[in-house]
Amino acid sequence: MLKPKEVCQKLGISYRTLQSYVKKGYIKPVILQSGKWRFREEDVEKLMGIVRKRKVILYARVSSQKNDLINQVKYLEENVKEYDQVITDIGSSLDMKRKGFIKLLRMILNNEVSKVVVAYPDILVRFGFEIIEEVCKAHNCKIMVLNKEDKTPEKELIEDLISILVSFSEKLQGMRKEKVKKCVEELKA
Protein backbone atom coordinates (compact mmCIF):
# COMPACT_ATOMS: atom_id res chain seq x y z
CA MET A 1 0.00 0.00 0.00
CA LEU A 2 1.33 3.35 -1.02
CA LYS A 3 0.94 6.70 0.70
CA PRO A 4 -0.46 9.59 -1.39
CA LYS A 5 2.98 11.24 -1.48
CA GLU A 6 4.52 8.06 -2.96
CA VAL A 7 1.74 7.83 -5.55
CA CYS A 8 2.31 11.46 -6.57
CA GLN A 9 6.04 10.80 -6.95
CA LYS A 10 5.48 7.65 -9.06
CA LEU A 11 2.96 9.36 -11.31
CA GLY A 12 4.75 12.71 -11.39
CA ILE A 13 1.65 14.62 -10.32
CA SER A 14 0.65 17.00 -7.54
CA TYR A 15 -1.48 16.06 -4.57
CA ARG A 16 -4.34 18.17 -5.96
CA THR A 17 -4.19 16.20 -9.24
CA LEU A 18 -4.29 12.95 -7.25
CA GLN A 19 -7.42 14.21 -5.47
CA SER A 20 -8.92 14.98 -8.88
CA TYR A 21 -8.09 11.44 -10.10
CA VAL A 22 -9.87 10.01 -7.07
CA LYS A 23 -12.88 12.28 -7.61
CA LYS A 24 -13.12 11.24 -11.30
CA GLY A 25 -12.77 7.55 -10.37
CA TYR A 26 -9.45 6.96 -12.15
CA ILE A 27 -8.03 5.49 -8.96
CA LYS A 28 -9.72 4.36 -5.76
CA PRO A 29 -8.08 4.88 -2.36
CA VAL A 30 -8.27 2.44 0.50
CA ILE A 31 -9.41 4.49 3.47
CA LEU A 32 -7.85 3.46 6.76
CA GLN A 33 -9.66 3.69 10.11
CA SER A 34 -7.69 6.85 10.78
CA GLY A 35 -9.21 8.37 7.63
CA LYS A 36 -5.89 8.41 5.79
CA TRP A 37 -5.67 7.27 2.17
CA ARG A 38 -3.57 4.41 0.87
CA PHE A 39 -3.38 3.14 -2.69
CA ARG A 40 -2.80 -0.33 -4.10
CA GLU A 41 0.36 -0.65 -6.16
CA GLU A 42 -1.50 -2.46 -8.97
CA ASP A 43 -3.96 0.46 -9.26
CA VAL A 44 -1.09 2.93 -9.58
CA GLU A 45 0.61 0.66 -12.11
CA LYS A 46 -2.61 0.53 -14.17
CA LEU A 47 -2.60 4.32 -14.34
CA MET A 48 1.01 4.13 -15.50
CA GLY A 49 0.02 1.61 -18.19
CA ILE A 50 1.75 -1.31 -16.50
CA VAL A 51 -0.29 -4.51 -16.38
CA ARG A 52 1.02 -7.47 -14.43
CA LYS A 53 0.25 -10.97 -15.68
CA ARG A 54 -1.82 -12.81 -13.13
CA LYS A 55 -1.18 -16.47 -12.45
CA VAL A 56 -3.20 -19.66 -12.75
CA ILE A 57 -2.44 -21.75 -9.66
CA LEU A 58 -2.97 -25.47 -9.20
CA TYR A 59 -3.51 -26.22 -5.51
CA ALA A 60 -3.22 -29.76 -4.13
CA ARG A 61 -3.51 -30.92 -0.52
CA VAL A 62 -3.61 -34.26 1.20
CA SER A 63 -3.81 -35.18 4.88
CA SER A 64 -0.77 -37.44 5.03
CA GLN A 65 0.05 -39.68 2.05
CA LYS A 66 2.73 -38.16 -0.17
CA ASN A 67 1.89 -40.60 -3.01
CA ASP A 68 -1.69 -39.31 -3.02
CA LEU A 69 -0.33 -35.77 -3.31
CA ILE A 70 1.76 -36.73 -6.35
CA ASN A 71 -1.29 -38.36 -7.96
CA GLN A 72 -3.44 -35.30 -7.23
CA VAL A 73 -0.87 -32.98 -8.83
CA LYS A 74 -0.68 -35.25 -11.90
CA TYR A 75 -4.48 -35.21 -12.16
CA LEU A 76 -4.54 -31.39 -12.01
CA GLU A 77 -1.76 -31.08 -14.58
CA GLU A 78 -3.54 -33.47 -16.96
CA ASN A 79 -6.78 -31.48 -16.75
CA VAL A 80 -5.35 -27.96 -16.86
CA LYS A 81 -2.97 -27.44 -19.74
CA GLU A 82 -1.97 -23.84 -19.05
CA TYR A 83 -0.94 -22.95 -15.53
CA ASP A 84 1.84 -20.95 -13.91
CA GLN A 85 2.48 -22.57 -10.55
CA VAL A 86 1.65 -25.59 -8.39
CA ILE A 87 1.22 -25.11 -4.65
CA THR A 88 1.00 -28.18 -2.42
CA ASP A 89 0.27 -28.89 1.23
CA ILE A 90 0.28 -31.92 3.48
CA GLY A 91 -2.08 -31.36 6.39
CA SER A 92 -5.66 -31.28 7.57
CA SER A 93 -8.21 -29.20 5.69
CA LEU A 94 -9.21 -27.83 9.09
CA ASP A 95 -5.70 -26.44 9.67
CA MET A 96 -5.78 -22.88 8.38
CA LYS A 97 -2.05 -22.38 9.06
CA ARG A 98 -0.84 -24.59 6.20
CA LYS A 99 2.14 -22.89 4.54
CA GLY A 100 0.92 -23.44 0.98
CA PHE A 101 -2.60 -22.25 1.81
CA ILE A 102 -1.30 -19.07 3.44
CA LYS A 103 1.00 -18.44 0.46
CA LEU A 104 -1.95 -18.89 -1.92
CA LEU A 105 -4.17 -16.61 0.14
CA ARG A 106 -1.50 -13.88 0.21
CA MET A 107 -1.09 -14.14 -3.56
CA ILE A 108 -4.87 -13.79 -4.02
CA LEU A 109 -4.99 -10.78 -1.69
CA ASN A 110 -2.12 -9.19 -3.66
CA ASN A 111 -4.11 -9.66 -6.89
CA GLU A 112 -1.45 -11.97 -8.34
CA VAL A 113 -3.85 -14.83 -9.13
CA SER A 114 -6.53 -15.02 -11.82
CA LYS A 115 -7.60 -18.63 -11.18
CA VAL A 116 -7.13 -21.33 -8.55
CA VAL A 117 -7.75 -24.91 -9.67
CA VAL A 118 -8.48 -27.69 -7.15
CA ALA A 119 -9.67 -31.27 -7.53
CA TYR A 120 -12.40 -30.99 -4.83
CA PRO A 121 -13.84 -28.06 -2.83
CA ASP A 122 -12.60 -29.48 0.49
CA ILE A 123 -9.00 -29.44 -0.76
CA LEU A 124 -8.80 -25.72 0.10
CA VAL A 125 -10.80 -25.76 3.32
CA ARG A 126 -13.18 -28.20 4.97
CA PHE A 127 -15.47 -25.45 6.23
CA GLY A 128 -15.91 -21.93 4.88
CA PHE A 129 -15.36 -22.61 1.18
CA GLU A 130 -17.92 -19.88 0.44
CA ILE A 131 -15.80 -17.35 2.35
CA ILE A 132 -12.74 -18.22 0.26
CA GLU A 133 -14.90 -17.87 -2.88
CA GLU A 134 -16.01 -14.38 -1.80
CA VAL A 135 -12.40 -13.32 -1.09
CA CYS A 136 -11.45 -14.55 -4.55
CA LYS A 137 -14.36 -12.71 -6.19
CA ALA A 138 -13.33 -9.48 -4.45
CA HIS A 139 -9.88 -9.88 -6.02
CA ASN A 140 -11.04 -10.91 -9.52
CA CYS A 141 -9.92 -14.49 -9.00
CA LYS A 142 -11.93 -17.58 -9.89
CA ILE A 143 -11.89 -20.96 -8.18
CA MET A 144 -12.26 -23.90 -10.54
CA VAL A 145 -13.27 -27.20 -8.93
CA LEU A 146 -12.70 -30.16 -11.25
CA ASN A 147 -14.80 -32.73 -9.33
CA LYS A 148 -18.00 -31.43 -7.84
CA GLU A 149 -19.59 -34.39 -6.14
CA ASP A 150 -23.28 -34.20 -5.44
CA LYS A 151 -23.42 -35.50 -1.90
CA THR A 152 -26.51 -36.07 0.14
CA PRO A 153 -26.73 -33.81 3.19
CA GLU A 154 -26.34 -36.90 5.38
CA LYS A 155 -23.13 -38.01 3.67
CA GLU A 156 -21.70 -34.47 3.83
CA LEU A 157 -22.53 -34.23 7.55
CA ILE A 158 -20.91 -37.61 8.27
CA GLU A 159 -17.73 -36.59 6.39
CA ASP A 160 -17.62 -33.27 8.28
CA LEU A 161 -17.97 -35.01 11.64
CA ILE A 162 -15.24 -37.51 10.75
CA SER A 163 -12.94 -34.63 9.71
CA ILE A 164 -13.52 -32.88 13.02
CA LEU A 165 -12.87 -36.07 15.01
CA VAL A 166 -9.66 -36.83 13.10
CA SER A 167 -8.42 -33.26 13.54
CA PHE A 168 -9.07 -33.20 17.27
CA SER A 169 -7.53 -36.68 17.66
CA GLU A 170 -4.35 -35.44 15.96
CA LYS A 171 -4.24 -32.39 18.23
CA LEU A 172 -4.80 -34.52 21.31
CA GLN A 173 -2.06 -36.92 20.21
CA GLY A 174 0.27 -33.94 19.69
CA MET A 175 -0.55 -32.62 23.15
CA ARG A 176 0.24 -36.03 24.65
CA LYS A 177 3.63 -36.07 22.94
CA GLU A 178 4.41 -32.65 24.43
CA LYS A 179 3.39 -33.82 27.92
CA VAL A 180 5.57 -36.93 27.60
CA LYS A 181 8.55 -34.81 26.48
CA LYS A 182 8.01 -32.45 29.40
CA CYS A 183 7.87 -35.34 31.90
CA VAL A 184 11.05 -36.88 30.45
CA GLU A 185 12.85 -33.53 30.72
CA GLU A 186 11.68 -33.10 34.34
CA LEU A 187 12.91 -36.62 35.19
CA LYS A 188 16.32 -35.85 33.63
CA ALA A 189 16.63 -32.68 35.72
Sequence-ordered list of residues with C-beta below 8 angstroms from that of 136, at least 6 positions apart, any chain: 108, 113, 116, 142, 143
Domain spans of the chain, in order of start? 4-48, 55-145, 154-188
List beta partners, residue 111: none
How far apart CA 175 and CA 183 sit, in angstroms, is 12
Assigned CATH for 55-145:
3.40.50.1390
Tens of pLDDT, residues 149-183: 666 667 666 766 766 676 667 666 666 666 656 65
pTM: 0.57
Catalytic residue among 14, 20, 34, 63: 63
**Counting every residue, how long is the chain?**
189
- Residue 14 catalytic? no
- Third-level CATH fold of 154-188: Helix Hairpins (1.10.287)
pLDDT, tens digit, for every residue of 64-81? 777 888 988 999 999 998
In three-state secondary structure terms, 143 is strand
Kindly state the helix (H) or strand (E) to which residue 38 belongs, with its residue range: strand 37-38
Kindly give the residue spans of alpha helices, DSSP state H, lying in 25-152: 41-48, 66-79, 99-109, 129-138
Cβ proximity of 116 and 108 under 8 Å: yes
